[in-house]
Copies of this chain bind each other. A is one copy, B any other.
Amino acid sequence: MKKSLGPKTYFFPLPVLLIATYDSQGHANVMNAAWGGIHDTNQVALCLSTDHKTTANIILKNEFTISFATSETVKESDYFGLVSGNSCADKIAKAGMHTIKSENVDAPVIDEYPLSLECRCVSVNSDDQGTTFVIADIVNILADEAILDEKGKIDMNKYHPIAYNPSNHTYQEMGKKVGNAFKDGLELK
């Protein structure tokens, strides 16, 4: 029996994105966001409130990095969503994290996150409802050698991204492998 829940912003899984930017003074900031995904080949899309410090920084610099929250960084990642860069200028340091300057874009890379996308905007559009929509090229990906296998590929035994669950406001680990894409369905062909 199906039950109607009404319209809701539910989606499974949602990512836990850490968007890192520089302001006009070169100060690094980061925010936590769940509304984003792949827009096209090597491109991401983000939906951000226009009043965020991050949004102002993206409009200014046109570049940013995205890291993905992990099981090891739950507390820090959640904190980055609780505190505004408009009121707390050193939130990254307060969380005990550190930044390095990206070599490819004018944005910080937060060292403690094992994987970061270096992004350059293709379009940034703010509507009159207070929302800004960003589409950006992924110009490079930086990975900690600690999460790579001997072939240089990401080893999911060493990398533990988490998802945001919009129905109960929890974070869940990307857990055990349950199948192989482009393969398991062949059985039904």
Contact between A2 and B42, CB atoms less than 8 A apart: no
Q: Which residues of B contact A137 (CB under 8 A)?
A: 7
CB distance from A112 to the nearest CB of B (A): 11
Contact between B143 and A2, CB atoms less than 8 A apart: yes
Q: Which residues of B contact A140 (CB under 8 A)?
A: 4-7
Contact between A74 and B179, CB atoms less than 8 A apart: yes
Q: Which residues of B contact A133 (CB under 8 A)?
A: 39-40
Q: Which residues of B contact A176 (CB under 8 A)?
A: 172-173, 175
Contact between A145 and B82, CB atoms less than 8 A apart: no
Q: How many copies does the complex hold?
A: 2
Q: Give the nearest-CB partner of A171 in chain B.
A: B179
Residue in contact with A13 in the complex, picked from B1, B77, B154, B174, CB distance below 8 Å: B174
Contacting residues of chain A (7-54) with chain B, CB-CB under 8 angstroms: 7-15, 34-45, 47
Q: Which residues of B contact A165 (CB under 8 A)?
A: 156, 174
Residue in contact with A95 in the complex, picked from B80, B139, B188, CB distance below 8 Å: B188
Known: A75-B185, A169-B180, A175-B176. 6 other contacts (CB 8 A): A1-B144, A8-B42, A12-B159, A34-B38, A78-B184, A163-B174
Which A residues fall within an 8 A CB radius of B? Answer: 1-15, 34-45, 47, 68, 71, 74-83, 94-95, 100, 109, 111, 115-117, 131, 133, 137-145, 148, 152-154, 156, 159, 161-165, 167-189
